[in-house]
Structure 1
Amino acid sequence: MVSAPDDLVVQRPEGLYCPPGDFYIDPWRPVPRAVITHAHADHARYGHGHYLAAAPAEGVLRSRLGEITLQTLPYGEALEHHGVRVSLHPAGHVLGSAQVRLEHRGRVWVASGDYKVAPDPTCDPFEPVRCDVFITESTFGLPIYRWRPDADLFAEINAWWARNVEAGRASVIGCYSFGKAQRVLAGVDPTIGPIVVHGAVRPLNEAYRAAGVALPETRMVTEVPDRADLRRALVVCPPSAVASTWLRRFGDSSTAFASGWMQLRGARRRGGYDRGFVVSDHADWPGLLSAIGATGAQRVIVTHGSIPVMVRYLQEQGLEAEGFDTEYGDDVVEADAAPEPAA
């Protein structure tokens, strides 16, 4: 797309750039100043000079990026930089995820990052923000993507775990170490059996607990002396671990993958999993449309995902819609950006 001279956000090789403010939003190449919507690896990268993020994201950002120059801002509070008023508002995606509201000379733009509108006990709920221009993701921007209520979803996961306990085999659920793992942990019934987590999941759990998010007790595999307990365990690990030798220590097991992509026929089979559970930290099709409508924006810019479908649909609804090319990923990119400990 061709940007207008007064656009508050434009595309540059480094990422999405705010010209009057002279800063970037979730840049994918090193820049002097970056506003970060959340700590997933495709949005929060190492190497920027200065980072600004929502206060609840501090623990997970430092866990994933290490020593960075990080300034945090409570949700809803604003600061002014080169005449641009910047505030961060809950996106409901993962812990600390934020939408970036920009106000300059009477114009208001909102860059959503990734978001979901469904309730989630592990992060602040999505907050609609009125604006003139809304930059939305479209990871699951197709009508086939419609999520089930969490109560039904976790009843299914718990029943699968309980059946495996009766059969004497571990229940291994592959899910991304940041966000998805904590959502799974918060939703399952810990009375069914012990819960074991992979070494990549543990530091993120600690960051969530430090932020006040309630998670059940979990253990590393090396902290379970009785192998009989491993055969009753729910094992939460990154997808890469499911196909590794790390899994052998659990003996007989049933494997599952938790992802929005499990909505597609054949996705579970192609991944080699016994089960697939449709768990997503992104908005589904109705959620995307409700979020866009709640902003009141007449211009919508669509990023990563099903951009042509979403743009065409919004144009048919009478909105001015276009796409931004970005290097953001989707659920696949959220998998493990850093090498994982073996235990």
Structure 2
Amino acid sequence: MTRDPVLRFTDQGIYCPAGDFYIDPWRPVARAAITHGHSDHARAGHGSYLATHAALPVMRHRLGQINAHGLAYGEVQRIGGANLSFHPAGHVPGSAQIRIEVGGEVWVVSGDYKLEEDGLSEPFSPIPCHAFITECTFGLPVFRWPAQAKTAAEIATWWARNAAEGRVSLLGAYGLGKAQRIMSMLAAQGLPGPLFTHGAAEATTRILRDQGYPLPPTTLVSRAPPPPDALVIAPPSALGSAWAAKLGPRSEAFASGWMALRGIRRRRNLGTGFIISDHADWDGLNSAIRATGAEKIFANHGYTAPFQRWLASQGYDAGIVATEWQGETAEPDKEITPE
């Protein structure tokens, strides 16, 4: 008799028949296991939520009053006939891969992840498995990230130059994860001026700081006007907006993996862009997949078709999973984490 696969791909989300729960579902379901707090993965309307303890404060801030339970990394929860556990994904603070074991067979859903240790997020930990469901937002060889320290130095130089010219530095970065990563990596090498934040970035920064994540002091823009030597971190949608105009003379930049493509920078009329992403680059994706030892790989959101072909050429049993997860968008005005 053929038994059910560990996970099924449905129009509501990735479903575990043995445990009767979904992983990061995009339609309302009774039981949802959530990889992290970004709005394309943690959506409203589910009957109950299961996530890491570290992810829950941001989820509650964004989703309101929810029926939620937290697990520590590596803690195993028996749900029906399935064993579930969360393991660090390195994407943003509190993010996780989800390991599901049924009858000795192990499948892992990566959620979003990156391999470079950023000094803030819990570092990615490869999980041996039979099947690995991986994101591939940046699943082309053109996407290879510079070292974080190099990008931090570039941002600091741009910031100092703007300050010398009497212009506020306005940097577009997603409000959960990247904004705090930028604060942390700049603080590690010495801040050339004060940090200010848009309300969207400040809300999640305070939550993470209260959880014990080491973040430098910040000032909310609405409470005090930023001086010319300030760096203001705001959602990408704030770039070029009426809100930004109130800052006075300024220089704007966007921090994203998409800045590796000069065509996008030109199309968006962005004079300055910094290449930094909380998703794995081409080398990171391939390294992560090899480290799992999985023979069956499913690619989701991103360059799924070319990445699937590449994996098949490398000897993997590779497929594509259609999801409604968005990943990091190329357009600053279409961010996935609105506040």
TM-score calculated relative to the size of structure 1: 0.94
Stretch moving more, 140-149 or 202-211: 202-211
SS at match of 2:216: coil
CA contact under 8 A between 2:174 and 2:337: conserved in structure 1?
A: no
**Corresponding residue for residue 210 of structure 2:** 210
Aligned with residue 123 of structure 2, among 121, 125, 128: 125
SS at match of 2:28: coil
Q: How many residues align?
A: 333
SS at match of 1:309: helix
Mapped to 1, the partners of 2:120 and 2:241 lie a distance apart of 28
Which runs of 4 or more aligned residues in structure 1 lie more than 3 Å from their structure 2 counterparts after TM superposition? none
Q: CA deviation at 1:76?
A: 0.3
**Corresponding residue for residue 82 of structure 1:** 80
SS at match of 1:127: coil
Cα displacement string for residues 220-274 of structure 1 (whole angstroms, at most 9, x for unaligned residues): 12332xx5x5211101001111122111222111100000000001222222222
CA contact under 8 A between 2:84 and 2:101: conserved in structure 1?
A: yes
| 1:330-341 aligned within 5 A | 330-332=327-329, 335=335, 337-338=337-338, 340=339
1:314 equivalenced with 2:317 (yes/no): no
TM-score calculated relative to the size of structure 2: 0.95
CA contact under 8 A between 2:38 and 2:336: conserved in structure 1?
A: no
CA contact under 8 A between 1:170 and 1:235: conserved in structure 2?
A: yes
Structure 2 vs 1, CA of residues 60 and 150 (structure 1 numbering), >3 Å: closer, same or farther? same
SS at match of 1:310: helix
Structure 2 gap segments, 5+ residues each: none
Aligned with residue 95 of structure 2, among 80, 94, 97: 97
CA contact under 8 A between 1:16 and 1:26: conserved in structure 2?
A: yes
Aligned with residue 158 of structure 1, among 156, 159, 166: 156
Aligned with residue 35 of structure 2, among 23, 34, 37: 37
Taking only the aligned residue pairs, the percentage that are identical comes to 49
SS at match of 1:200: helix
**Corresponding residue for residue 193 of structure 1:** 193
Mapped to 2, the partners of 1:266 and 1:230 lie a distance apart of 33
| 1:258-337 aligned within 5 A | 258-332=255-329, 335=335, 337=337
Q: CA deviation at 1:306?
A: 0.8
Cα displacement string for residues 265-307 of structure 1 (whole angstroms, at most 9, x for unaligned residues): 1222222222000010000000000000000001111111111
Mapped to 1, the partners of 2:23 and 2:204 lie a distance apart of 23
Alpha-carbon RMSD across the aligned residues, in angstroms, is: 1.4
Q: CA deviation at 1:336?
A: 5.2
Mapped to 1, the partners of 2:223 and 2:274 lie a distance apart of 28
Q: CA deviation at 1:13?
A: 1.4
SS at match of 2:246: helix
CA contact under 8 A between 2:196 and 2:219: conserved in structure 1?
A: yes
Q: CA deviation at 1:211?
A: 2.0
| 1:43-82 aligned within 5 A | 43-82=41-80
